[in-house]
Amino acid sequence: MSLESLPSDGFDTRASSHGEGVPEESFEVEPPYQPDHDEIAAVEKYDDRFLDRELSWLRFNQRVLELAEDHTLPLLERARFLAIFTSNLDEFFMVRVAGLKRRIAAGVAVPAASGLMPTEVLDLILNTTRGLVERQARVFRDEVVPALADVGIELVRWDDLDREEQKTCKRLFRDRVFPVLTPLAVDPAHPFPYISGLSLNLAVLIRNPRTQKEHFARVKVPPIFARFVPVGNQRFVPLEDVIREHLKRLFPGMDVLEVHTFRVTRNEDLEVEEDDAENILAALEKELLRRRFGPPVRLEVEESIAPQVLALLVSELGVSEKEVFRLRGPLDLRGLHDIADLPRQELKYPAFLPTTHLLLAEVESAAPVDVFKATRRHDVLLHHPYDSFATSVQRFLEQAAADPHVLAIKQTLYRTSGDSPIIDALVDAAEAGKQVLVIVEIKARFDEEANIRWARKLEQAGCHVVYGLVGLKTHCKLSMVVRDEPDGIRRYTHIGTGNYNPKTSRMYEDLGLLTTNERIGEDVAHLFNNLSGWSRNATYDELLVAPDSIRTGLVDQIHREVAHHQAGRPARIRLKANSVVDEAIIDALYLASQAGVPVELLVRGICALRPGVPGLSETITVRSILGRFLEHSRIFWFENGGEPTAWIGSADMMHRNLDRRVEVLVRLPGGSVGQIERLLDLAFAPGTTAWELDSTGEWHRNEGTKHLQDALIEAQRRRRTTS
C-alpha cells in the first residue's frame, strides 16, 4: 500500500455510527470448527515448535542494539539506544534471570516449553549476553564516541582533560561530591559492605605505608550527580574518573594502589503474599525496602580489574565466574540518556508534535475540545502519539471533572506520570462531589512507590480507591464517565492499549477507543462492578476479559478462520502484540497454518512461535518494527469470511496476561475496523522496513523503502497542514 493511499491522518476519519457494521455475533460458521485428535497430533508431533522466551527476549534487545549500530539514524538517537539497551538488560537480569536462578535454587527446575532445562537456559543467557555487551561496548567505543567527537560532543577520560578542565572537576569534587562520599573499609572490624543493586562502585586497594598492609575499600559513585560530568564546550568526563583522581582526600595518609569500577545487579522482583497480608499497602512498602537486598545475579567489572580484587568481589558477593562480565569502561551506559538530551536538534529525530484527532476538532478553534459532544456524534479511534493524548484522553477526564452534569467517573490506573494531570482531574472530580472510583494497581513493577503515593492522595481527596483483585494484577486500561443528559443517563467510555500516562503517551504507540456505544458501556460498567465489588459476571457482549475469556475467545476466533477457509470464504489472521508466548494461542495459529490460513504477526519483543516450518507454519510470517516510538498497541484482526472484525486492548499473548491479570480486549465498532486494516496493510507491506523472524529463531532486517512510523508521522503532518 502506498503512503499516498493512506487517509490524511493515517486513519479513516469518516464518522461511524455506534455499532454500525458490527453484527450481533461474528460471522456464523456452520458447523463450527473444532480440531480433532489427528489435527492436534499433527501439531504436537513437532517437539521443538516453541522458541525459548528468554533467548527470544535477548534477540529483541539485540534489535535495539542494531538501532544503535545504524549509521542512518541521528547520532544522539544512536546514543540513546545504547542507554536503552543497558536499562533493558538490567531489568531482564533483575526479574527474568533472577527468577530463573530462584527456581533452580529451589529445586523446581522443570523444562521450559522450548524443551530446555533452566540450567541450560541460564547458560545460554549468560553466553549470549556476554557477546551482546561486548558488542555494545565496541559500538560505543569505536563508533559512537568518535562520531560524537566529530560533531563537537566529546566523552573523554581524566587524562584527556586540560588543566582548566581538571580545575573545574577539582572544584566540583571539593564543593559537591566529596561531602556525600562514604568510603567503606573492609577489615576484621568492618565487614564487607552491602552493595546496592545497579549502583556504580569503586573497588579501592589501599596500603598503610607504616605497616605495608593492604586493605580493600569500597566507594559508591553517588547517583544524584550527572553520570557524565560537563567540563565545558560539550566535553564530558565520567564521574567515577573525577572521584578516582581525588581518592587521596578520602584515604589521607594511605597509598592508593589500585582502583577499579564494578556494578552489581540483584534480584529486584517483588514477592508479596497478598492473600496473607492484612494490609496490602503495608506489605508492599515493607517488601520495597527489602528489594535492594535481593541476591546478586550479575557482576560487571572493568576488564583491567586486578585478579585479587575480582576474587574478593566474587567471594563476598556470592556470584559464580559465569556471572562475571569483564568489560572495557565506562560501565553503566544508562548515563547516555543525558548526552542524548543535549540541545542539538540536528542530531536527533526531527521534531514531532501530536495533533488533535480530526473527529474531536472538526473545525479550527481556540476553545478546548468538547470530547462529550464529539463522542456523541461518532466513535473516535485514537492513535497515539500521532493523535494528542492531552487533547483527547486527558481532556476527556479534565472535562468530566469540571462538568456539573457528570455524576461519576470510574478509572483504572496501572502506571501514570509523576506530576499526573490524570490524578489531578480525578482529585478535582472527587472534591467537586462526584462519585470517583479508581482501581489502582500498586504492584505495577518498578512503579510501586509512586502508585502507593497516588493511591493515598486519591483516598484523601475522597475517591473510592480499590487495589484490584486478590491474586490478579489489574492491567486493563479503562475509563468511564457517567453523565446526566436531557435524554437520560449516558456512559462515555475509553478503552485503550496503553497507560494513562501523559509522558509515555508521547513515546509509546498506542490505540484507544472513545465511544458511547451502549453495549460496550454496559460491559465496562459490569467489569468495574466486578473489580470493586463481589460480583463475578464473566460473560460480556463486546469485551474479552482475562483471566476468564481472552485465551478461549481468541482461540475460538482463530478456529473460526479455519472454518471460513475450509468453506471457501475469505480467511486471514493478523495479530500485533508486544509478546507472543502462550502455547495454546501459538498451537491454534499452527492449526490455522496447517489448514492453509494466512497468518501475519507483528511482534515487538518476545516471539516463541516458530514461523516458516514446513508442514507446521508455512503460512505464518512474523515481523518486528522498532523505531523512535515504542510499538505498544495490541491488535487482533480477523478476516471473518469477508466481514472483518478487530479487537484492541491491554493483553499480550503471555501466561501472566491471560492467567494472572485483569486484561480487556474490546471489539471495535464497524467504522473503526477499516482503519485498523489500513494500518496493518502498511505495517505488513513488503516495502516497509522491519525485522523478519526465520524458523531458527533468528531475526533478519529487511531494509524497505519506508518506515511505518515515518509514514504515519508524514501522514499526520499532511493532516496538520491541510486541515
Give the sign of the dihedral formed by CA 288, CA 662, CA 112, CA 611: negative
> ∠ CA(66), CA(70), CA(74), 5° rounding?
125
Give the whole-angstrom CA distance, residue 631 versus residue 624: 9
Residue 438 CB neighbour total at 10 angstroms:
25
Give the whole-angstrom CA distance, residue 393 versus residue 525: 18
The greatest distance separating any two alpha carbons of the chain, rounded to the nearest whole angstrom, comes to: 93
**Cβ-based neighbours of 87, under 8 Å, separated by 6 or more:** 334
Residue 475 appears among annotated catalytic residues? yes
- Sequence length of the chain is 723
Give the whole-angstrom CA distance, residue 313 versus residue 315: 5
The residue from 383, 475, 526, 559 that is catalytic is: 475
For 507, list phi and psi in degrees, rounded to 5.
Answer: -120, -20
Provide Rg for the chain, Cα atoms.
28
| DSSP per-residue string spanning 126-139 | HHHHHHHHHHHHHH
CA of residue 209 relative to chain centroid, distance: 53
The answer to whether the peptide bond before residue 183 is cis (omega within 30 degrees of 0) is no
Give the whole-angstrom CA distance, residue 469 versus residue 78: 42
- Helix, strand, or coil (residue 702): strand
Give the whole-angstrom CA distance, residue 477 versus residue 494: 8
| DSSP per-residue string spanning 438-462 | EEE-TT-TT-HHHHHHHHHHHHHHT
Q: What is the DSSP letter of 295?
A: P
Give the whole-angstrom CA distance, residue 608 versus residue 619: 16
**Cβ-based neighbours of 45, under 8 Å, separated by 6 or more:** none
Single out the residue of 232, 106, 225 nearest to residue 165, CA to CA: 232
**Cβ-based neighbours of 108, under 8 Å, separated by 6 or more:** none
For 265, list phi and psi in degrees, rounded to 5.
Answer: -110, 135
CB of 436 closer than 8 Å to CB of 457: no
Strands (DSSP E) along 626-702, which ranges?
A: 630-631, 634-638, 645-649, 661-667, 690-693, 699-702
3-state helix, strand, coil in the chain (%, to 5): 40, 20, 40
- Describe the crossing of helices 118-139 and 75-92 by its angle, rounded to 10 degrees: 160
The CA dihedral of 96, 98, 99, 105, to the nearest 10 degrees, is: 150
Give the whole-angstrom CA distance, residue 95 versus residue 270: 9
CB of 476 closer than 8 Å to CB of 657: no
| DSSP per-residue string spanning 415-441 | ---TT-HHHHHHHHHHHTT-EEEEEE-
- CA distances for 128 relative to 55, 209, 334, 404, angstroms: 8, 45, 20, 59
CB of 344 closer than 8 Å to CB of 76: yes
* Residues assigned a catalytic role: 475
